[in-house]
Every structure is written in structure tokens, then in C-alpha cells.
């Protein structure tokens, strides 16, 4: 009888020990699984974060990221909210916000929100931002001859705007070097973004949605360009990251031809300029301009002084 009790007691201890060991193993495996899932999701978040900054660096004329934060996050993923703005000669105006997603399996940018919409009627034809509804300044590729509604020169109309600052996309009649570009514009106009490249496409039926690539010229507190060469190097690093999966001979040829050049030797296809409308209006007769497109305009107020 005592032997049977001892055997039963031993079995109970063994069962309890087995249960405890199983529970410990389960907890350890659960913790390891959570850590692994979290690391994978975090890695995809960092990829998304890098991709968003890369795109902003290469394909967002005169647009800056004000903040980029995680929202609705868990170990399985979340959203990245990107808040953007534009600097129009010292006037900061809101631009579209992006909500991008990352998860355990992937990360995704809503490129539909990055691309402008097109408004067309018998009287008007222009691209606009999907969220702000502000007109988007359009660049014209010098290698593309025919555009749906022609190549516009909206600098002819800008002088009709009073007491405002504006941004204008200037498309050149041919590519120019950066040293040539620096001599083209007067001191009272800000050259803020350089248009370097876009793929050729059929624009005769309407906007194709092909992005234009270039980079912002960073300035100091006195509105002086800090280091254009460093801006160029950052552009090519980001450009290769952003288009690494693209199988495009045009893109590959552009990178191979230009990434090792000094900025002064790279051909510029156009620029984004900002300034007071009366100063921008003086550019309308410039012989190097093929087309010009007005973007955001802002009425001036007494308590904000334009940079130029």
C-alpha cells in the first residue's frame, strides 16, 4: 500500500514537473516569437522610413518633411504618418500628408497620394495635389517635343498676381551645367530645386504621371546655399536606393553617366524658383526658358518678410 502511494506521488511530481517545464518552454518560445516578429516588423519599418526619405530627397520639388511618426503600431506592424510642407520664399505652407503601412511581411507607400491629379476642361488644364488641391508646378522634359496642351509659359500671367510670393517650375530649352544655371538668375530669386532627370514618355494624350527627379539645395539661416555638392551626392545615394528595383535602361544610363561627376559638370534640365511675383515676372523674357509653370502662391502679410 505504501509502495502504491509512493508511485502515485512520484507520478504526480513527475506530471507537475513536466507541466512546469512545458510552461517554461512555452513562455520562452512565446517570448522568442514575439521578439522575432517585432524585429521583422521593425526592419520593415526602417525600410519604409528610408524609402520615404529617399523619395522625398529625389522626387518632391520644393517639398520638405516636417515630421514622420509611427501611428497605430503593434508588433505586427503599423502606419507611418509623414507631414510635409513647402517653403515659398520664407512662407511655410502645408502640403499633403502621407499614411504608409508596414507589417510583418512588407512595407508599402501609397504612391497614388504622391502623384498629382489632373484637371481638364475646355478652359483649363493643370495638375493639382490630391489633398491640398493646390496647383502643382509642372516640368517639361527637353527631349519630349509634344505635350497634350502644349508647353505653357505661365510667367506671362504671374505679374497679374499682386502682393504674393510664388514657386515656379522653370524648364530649360536645353540642358545647362550648374555653373551656367547659377549665372542665369538674379539675386532676388531663390533657386531652390534642380531638375536633373525624368524618363521619356508619351505626353501627347495627357500627363503620363512620370516623376521628375532632382534635389533641393539646402540653405543656411541667411538663405545661402550650404553645400550643393553634398546635396548632389545625397541625391545619388537616395536615387539608387529608390530605383534599385527598376529595370530601366534610361535610369541606369543616367546613373552611370552622372553619379561620379562633379555637380558643376552635370546637366540641369530645369529649376524650381521661389520669390516675390514681381521679381519672378522679370524672368518671362529669358531666352533659356522653354516653359514655366506656377505652383503654390501665397498672399504676403506684414508680419512675415520674404527671404528675397
pLDDT digits (tens, 9 = 90+) for 114-124: 889 889 888 88
Spatial CB neighbours of 53, under 8 Å, sequence gap ≥ 6: 65, 68, 238
The CB density around residue 266, as the number of other CB atoms within 10 Å, is 19
Separation CA 51–CA 109 (nearest Å): 8
Q: Is residue 193 part of a domain?
A: yes
Please say whether the beta carbons of 198 and 211 come within 8 A: yes
The cell numbers describing 298, all together, are 501665397
How many residues are present in the chain?
308
pLDDT in the model for residue 7: 62
CB atoms within 10 A of CB 91: 21
The answer to whether 281 and 158 have CB atoms below 8 angstroms apart is yes
pLDDT of 246 reads 65
Do the domain assignments include residue 84?
no
For residue 292, the enclosing domain spans 116-299
C-alpha cell at 28: 520562452
Q: Which residues of the chain, if any, have pLDDT below 70? A: 1-12, 16, 37-38, 244-247
Domain count, the chain: 1
CA 179 vs CA 44, 190, 232, 262: distances in Å: 41, 15, 14, 11
Report if residue 110 sits inside a domain. no
Retrieve residue 16's grid coordinates: 507537475
Asked if residue 237 belongs to a domain, the reply is: yes
The Cα 39–Cα 28 span in angstroms is: 16
Which spans in the chain are helix H?
A: 2-59, 111-114, 155-158, 178-184, 228-242, 249-258, 277-281
Determine, yes or no, domain membership for 57: no
Q: CA-CA distance, 288 to 270, in Å (whole number)?
A: 10
pLDDT on residue 78: 82
3-state secondary structure 221-241: CCCCECCHHHHHHHHHHHHHH
State the distance between the two ends of the chain, measured CA to CA, in whole angstroms.
Answer: 103
Residue 81 lies in a domain: no
pLDDT of residue 183: 92
In the prediction, which pLDDT does 234 show? 93
pTM of the full structure: 0.85
- Identify the pLDDT of residue 11: 65
Task: Please give the C-alpha separations between residue 47 and each of 53, 102, 112, in angstroms, as whole numbers.
Answer: 10, 9, 19
Q: What are 169's strand-pairing partners?
A: 272, 293
Residue 139: inside a domain: yes
Which residues does 173 contact at the CB level (< 8 Å), separation at least 6? 142, 287, 288, 289, 290
Q: Is 73 helix (H, G, I), strand (E, B) or coil?
A: strand
In a domain, 154, yes or no: yes
The residues with which 103 forms a beta bridge, in sequence order, are 77
- The pLDDT, as a whole number, for residue 301 is 96
How high is the pLDDT of residue 108? Answer: 78
Q: What is the dihedral of CA 286, 162, 182, 138, to 10 degrees?
A: -80
DSSP helix, strand, coil percent of the chain (3-state; round to 5)? 35, 30, 35
pLDDT attached to residue 10: 61
CB atoms within 10 A of CB 293: 24
Amino acid at each position: 500500500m505504501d509502495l502504491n502511494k509512493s508511485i502515485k506521488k512520484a507520478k504526480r511530481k513527475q506530471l507537475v514537473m513536466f507541466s512546469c517545464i512545458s510552461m517554461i518552454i512555452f513562455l520562452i518560445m512565446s517570448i522568442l516569437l514575439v521578439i522575432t516578429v517585432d524585429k521583422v516588423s521593425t526592419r520593415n519599418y526602417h525600410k519604409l522610413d528610408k524609402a520615404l526619405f529617399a523619395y522625398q530627397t529625389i522626387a518632391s520639388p520644393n517639398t520638405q518633411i516636417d515630421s514622420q511618426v509611427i501611428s497605430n503600431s503593434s508588433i505586427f506592424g503599423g502606419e507611418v504618418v509623414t507631414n510635409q510642407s513647402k517653403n515659398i520664399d520664407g512662407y511655410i505652407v502645408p502640403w499633403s500628408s502621407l499614411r504608409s503601412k508596414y507589417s510583418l511581411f512588407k512595407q508599402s507607400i501609397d504612391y497614388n497620394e504622391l502623384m498629382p491629379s489632373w484637371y481638364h476642361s475646355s478652359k483649363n488644364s493643370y495638375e493639382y495635389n490630391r489633398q491640398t488641391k493646390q496647383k502643382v508646378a509642372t516640368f517639361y522634359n527637353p527631349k519630349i517635343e509634344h505635350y497634350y496642351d502644349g508647353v505653357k509659359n505661365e510667367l506671362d500671367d504671374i505679374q497679374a498676381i499682386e502682393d504674393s510670393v510664388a514657386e515656379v517650375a522653370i524648364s530649360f530649352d536645353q540642358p545647362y551645367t550648374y555653373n551656367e544655371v547659377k549665372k542665369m538668375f538674379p539675386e532676388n530669386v531663390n533657386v531652390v530645386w534642380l531638375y536633373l532627370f525624368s524618363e521619356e514618355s508619351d505626353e501627347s494624350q495627357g500627363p503620363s504621371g512620370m516623376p521628375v527627379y532632382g534635389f533641393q539645395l539646402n540653405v543656411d539661416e541667411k538663405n545661402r546655399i550650404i553645400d550643393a555638392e553634398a546635396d548632389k551626392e545625397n541625391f545619388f545615394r537616395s536615387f539608387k536606393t529608390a530605383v534599385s528595383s527598376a529595370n530601366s535602361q534610361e535610369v541606369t544610363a543616367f546613373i552611370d553617366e552622372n553619379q561620379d561627376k562633379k555637380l558643376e559638370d552635370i546637366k540641369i534640365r530645369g529649376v524650381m524658383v521661389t520669390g516675390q511675383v514681381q521679381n519672378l515676372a522679370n524672368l518671362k523674357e529669358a531666352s533659356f526658358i522653354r516653359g514655366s509653370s506656377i505652383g503654390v502662391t501665397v498672399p504676403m502679410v506684414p508680419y512675415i518678410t520674404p527671404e528675397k
